[in-house]
Amino acid sequence: MASFIVAEMPIGRDHAVPPQAVIEELAAEEVPGGTAGKVDVAGAPALRRVYRCAPDEEGEQAAPPTRRVDYVIPVPDDPGRWISINFSTPGDGDAGSEFTDVLVELFDAVVATFRWSYE
């Protein structure tokens, strides 16, 4: 089981902020249980964050831990427009298992095929 969502994010709509500065700021933020770094997606600088998320212990049916991957990508030639691609999977119930790693690699491969198209 896995899912991913693509959404638009308003970052710097009111004032132009260079994409590289935003990426560097986001990459410098602490990611509890994970890491963040600069990557290239479709020829644009982007942020990739990967982390583990443990469920809250409240409630009778606790959800399994999940592995999550987030990409934050600026829309080329359109200051202030960004997209976020977010992935989440419980894998086989072990967020650190080899199977879960393979699902993350598959998601990264899907993101690597991303291209901008203007019609």
Whether 52 and 68 have beta carbons less than 8 Å apart is answered as: yes
pLDDT at 64: 80
Tell me the pTM: 0.85
Percent of the chain with pLDDT over 70: 90
Residue bearing the bigger pLDDT, 11 or 75: 75
> To which CATH superfamily is domain 3-55+63-112 assigned?
Mog1/PsbP, alpha/beta/alpha sandwich (3.40.1000.10)
Question: Would the pLDDT of 116 be above 90?
Answer: no
Q: For residue 87, give both structure tokens.
A: 């992935």
The domains of the chain are located at 3-55+63-112
Q: What tens digit of pLDDT does each residue of 13-69 get?
A: 667 778 888 899 889 988 888 999 999 998 889 999 999 988 766 655 667 889 999
pLDDT for 90 equals: 92
Average pLDDT value over all residues in the chain: 87
Task: Tell which wins on pLDDT, 47 or 81.
Answer: 47
